[in-house]
Amino acid sequence: MLNRIFGLETEYGLLVHQDHPDRSPTWFVHKLRDHIFNVQRRGVIDLHHRGYDEPPGNGGFLTNAGRIYLDMGHLEYASPECESLMDAVASDRAGDRLLQQAIDELGWSETVSLIKNNIDHETNATFGCHENYLVTRRFPFTRRGLAPLVTFLVTRQIFTGAGRVGSAGVQDAWVQTDRLIVPRSVSGLNRDVNLLPFQISQRADYIVNDFFEWVQQNRAIINTRDEPLADPNQYRRIHLLLGDSNIAEFATALKLGTTGLVLQLIEEGHIPTDLVIDEPVESLQEISQDQDRRWLVRLMSGKTISAIDIQEQFLSAALEYCKGQDSETDWVLTQWEAVLRDLRGEYTNLVGRVDWASKLWLLETYRESEGVGWDDPMLKSLDLEYHNLHSEKSLYHALVEEGRVPRLTTDAFIESAMTHAPRNTRAYGRGELVKHLLAGAPLPGEDLPEREDPFAPSYIINWSIFKLRGCPPFPMPDPFKTYVQDIRTHTERRLS
């Protein structure tokens, strides 16, 4: 893709297969983290406080330059920075395999499962899949400038949604009404939601604002926190938390690819006009919950239009201004067009490519064979099993084995991505640094303890900077630069 850095952060649900477990899910995730860093030695654990909720030992960077850590009780994997869609998909799948491999080595395959989804059917809790896209500081990060992106994001769920059985309760939060910030319960925006059999998005029920800075309690379509993790004078990071965790490789690539192209259209001033949605949060939820799959939304102009029509207008602009710029762009354009065409027909045409369609087909097949309704409790169990990381238990992987799923990666590619970072971004240098630390090589300045606080950590690693004891901080502000040779020189240098 053209001048774009992608990254995914995935929180995993953990399911304990015991009626009366003697260990909590939190105990299991701590042991999994410790096994990955202390036994498998996949990376180096943090020695410093990363924040009030991330004490030393909470997580660390891996040799593939991604991170594994604990967040609000969930295991979370953050992929390394990727400049290509295939690297992004492979890195995402690598996180799944790293975690499942740890479960297998600990002998827990029959005791616990990691579930790559976004909801807990029992507690009504949600956990996220966050997307990251690098843009320049020239990007129009204003309500007016972001309005087309909001429209795109609200409607893209028709091919990026992971699907779910049922619905969540009405979410309470503070929302903006005109110039006032008021509780949602008094804003007039709450709607009665009857029990739904199935909807196409898992996260839609939990999004309560169009724009908001923080990620907890007031989840927004666009997160406005300005944390570029790069040179702040040149870059901004678009951080999205409205999307579902996709387990289908095709859906992951199309989600990242189409969003990247829409960001490019906005940057270059080629975005379609007159597509601003009147009530984006309500439209997001109505599209997800529409049992007839007509997916109609009302625009600020008063016009009613379908999500497919909106997506086709974005596609048309991308075809005009982006086609031919590179092979991955052309793949995205071809597949985007094919998926929108198939969405106008039977949803079963999308099995294997779109997660919600694959899941719905599996659930409908079960209902028909067993003669049960949507209130059958087994459906929620099957919903979860679609996302199971264990290949012998996952319903998605069963579709793969049946040849119903197009693969974009290979097992060898994923295996490599578990250990090695992409070689054309900042991740490459960071990955080499982690390998250097794991090899136990003496750190620069370790023979000069009088120059350093003896209680200071021997290393501190963050996304855009690191520091080794005895050396000055080493900034890495440009995500497009590998820094690999500079880092090798830095780690070999001795202070005089």
Nearest to residue 7, comparing CAs of 103, 102, 76, 100? 76
pLDDT at 371: 97
Local structure of residue 362 (DSSP, 8 states): H
Residue 201: give the domain boundaries.
135-386
Beta bridge partners of 114: 14
| pLDDT, block means (10 residues), the chain with 496 residues | 92 92 94 97 95 90 98 93 98 98 97 96 91 96 94 98 90 52 52 75 94 71 92 96 96 98 97 94 97 97 97 98 97 98 97 98 98 96 97 96 95 98 98 94 49 75 94 96 95 57
Q: How many domains does the chain have?
A: 1
Please identify which residue in the block is written with the tokens 């021997």: 458
Active site includes 71? yes
439 in a domain, yes or no?
Answer: no
Scan for tokens 């295939």, then name that residue: 86
The DSSP H or E segment spanning 329 is helix 327-343
Residue pair 41/105 in contact (Cβ under 8 Å)? The answer is no
**Residue 325 belongs to a domain:** yes
Any domain includes 206: yes
- Let me know: does 261 contact 191? Beta carbons within 8 Å: no
276 falls within a domain: yes
DSSP 3-state of 202? coil
Using DSSP's 3-state secondary structure scheme, residue 214 falls into coil
Q: What is the pLDDT of residue 445?
A: 45
Domain presence at residue 72? no
pLDDT of residue 464: 97
Residue 307 lies in a domain: yes
- Residue 361 inside a domain? The answer is yes
β-bridge mates for residue 405, sequence order: none
Distance CA 41, CA 45 (A): 9
User: What pLDDT does residue 170 have?
Assistant: 65
Give the per-residue pLDDT at 214: 61
71, 290, 342, 376: the catalytic one is 71
In a domain, 55, yes or no: no
